[in-house]
Amino acid sequence: MKNKIIHILVLAFFVITACQEEEREVIEPDDPVDSQLSVLMKNVATHDGSFDDIVDQGNCLSINIPYKIIRNGESYTVTHTSDYLGISATDNIEIEYPIIVTLFDYSEIAVSNEQELQTLTNACSVNDDDIECIDFEYPIVFSSFDSRTNRLETKQLIHDSEMFEFITNTDQNTVFSIDYPINLLLHDGSSTSVQHNTDLRNAIIGMISACDENDN
């Protein structure tokens, strides 16, 4: 009974603050619809490692810049993502180790040789969960309540890594809401504003098949 009362009070808090500030809609992880939205948001925020596949062949990880490769017998330094445009699929490429790679969850691992990198790339799925054709425009403000600690908290997220961590660490004991409106950046360079949870869910689902994933 106590938890039910607390839950009602929390919902009331979100409603009141929504009226006072931006529009907010509660997201409850144990609700199937809200759970789907949480998964979609996490997939949008997942690190996309496909941009450097011409070097590492692993769509779920990327090599931290700067680093060096031997390209057709000559030293080549990758200092920016645009440097990959100078690399051809027919080039003979050897990575100069050690390197640091970033995985799908933004964790970083030191890699000492080709065998270690191959082990990581072999773990990548061809059809991974990351949604590459839509991005969040930050900052985005969340309000959350943890029923275990009875703690209300407001967080401003400024990067996909923070979004990924926030969603990952949210469980059935946490209720949260988003401060709307928020903007989404689309694959064609345009942006769109969403006003509530249904808008956000529909926008992400609608974009999933709208552009080519770069995983193959």
Per the model's pLDDT, the better-predicted residue between 86 and 128 turns out to be 86
Measured in whole angstroms, how far is the alpha carbon of residue 128 from the centre of its chain?
12
Please indicate whether residue 65 or residue 207 has the higher confidence score (pLDDT): 65
Query: Tens digits of per-residue pLDDT, 52-78?
Result: 999 999 999 999 999 999 999 999 999
Question: Would you state the pLDDT for residue 129?
Answer: 80
Provide the residue ranges of all domains of the chain, joining segments of one domain with +. Answer: 2-46+130-207, 50-122
Looking at the predicted structure, is the pLDDT value of residue 192 above 50?
A: yes
d(CA 106, CA 165): 9
Q: What is the pLDDT of residue 14?
A: 46
CA distance 155 to 140: 8
- Residue 2 pLDDT exceeds 70: no
pLDDT at 211: 65
Instruction: Tell me which residue of 93, 143, 89, 97 sits closest to 117, measured CA to CA.
Output: 97
Cα separation, 207 vs 5, whole angstroms:
39
Q: Burial, 208: exposed, middle or buried (Cβ in 10 Å; 0-12, 13-18, 19+)?
A: middle
pLDDT, tens digit (0-9, with 9 covering 90-100), for 137-181 = 999 999 999 988 899 999 999 999 999 999 999 988 899 999 999
